Structure 1
Amino acid sequence: MIEVYHNPRCGKSRNCLAFLENSNQEYKIIKYLEDVPTQEELTSLLKKLDLKPIELVRQKEKIWIDNFKNQEMSDEAIIQAMITHPTLIERPIIIKENKAIIAREADKIEAFFEAQ
């Protein structure tokens, strides 16, 4: 089943859900701000995304700028920052089997499902 890391307050995230609704895909919503992923879950997600931890961080978020910007951080420390402050995690994310994408654009979502 498809999983979607979703933030209801994010327009891109709502657009992603609308796309999935219109495509008749079955999916499960993960409200990651409430159900914060564990270190193991984030590590697994990063592998599926084929990204380094810093590439999953919303680096323009005030929390990042105030607390972490310009600091030398290990991958583990960056993952821990995302767990402590889940608003730092890019969204929305679609996961299907062993692949995932940051699904901010409809054409990217379409291409993801066509490649599967």
Structure 2
Amino acid sequence: MRDCILHNPRCSKSRETVKLLQERGIELPVIEYLQTPPTKAELAEICKLLDVKPLQLVRTKEALFAELGLSKDNGFSDAQWLAVLAEHPKLLERPIVIYKGRAALGRPPEKVLDLL
């Protein structure tokens, strides 16, 4: 996956991460993932870069999670969680920065500095 920031402009952590990178002279393409959601394949690649299971990228405290009747203990496979994230990008943890073949979740925003 190419260098970018998966960003939600309404999220303070996402905005802080973009600002943090800009202050260090790192200008990456910003993808507003709610308008341009990542595909299942892209999400799988992101999980691989982050070395996490898809469930670890799911915002389980988001109201939509409960509205959809989802549960962390529902026995979904990784492929099923990837499908949920692809269909409901609002459930994706953010921001995610991909830089030079590595990735970091900006929670807290300073975690992305490990990529520099």
- After TM superposition, the score normalised by the length of structure 1 is 0.90
Cα distance in 2 for residues equivalent to 1:31 and 1:107:
20
Give CA-to-partner distance per residue, 1:37-71, whole Å, 9 cap, x none: 11111111111111100011111111212321142
1:102 partner letter: L
Give CA-to-partner distance per residue, 1:65-110, whole Å, 9 cap, x none: 2321142211111111111110110000000122101012243222
For structure 1, the residue ranges without an aligned partner over 5 or more in a row are: none
Cα distance in 1 for residues equivalent to 2:109 and 2:76:
33
- Compare 20-29 and 100-109 and name the one that shifted more: 100-109
- How many residues are matched? 113
For structure 2, the residue ranges without an aligned partner over 5 or more in a row are: none
> Quick check: 1:50 aligned with 2:44?
no
1:91 partner letter: R
> Quick check: 1:97 aligned with 2:100?
yes
Say whether the 8 Å CA contact 2:37–2:89 is kept in structure 1.
Answer: yes
1:35 partner letter: T
Say whether the 8 Å CA contact 2:94–2:106 is kept in structure 1.
Answer: yes
- After TM superposition, the score normalised by the length of structure 2 is 0.90
**C-alpha RMSD of the superposition:** 1.4
> Quick check: 1:77 aligned with 2:83?
no
User: Identity of counterpart residues, as a percentage?
Assistant: 35
1:5-44 paired onto structure 2 within 5 Å: 5-44=6-45
Give the match for residue 68 of structure 1: 70
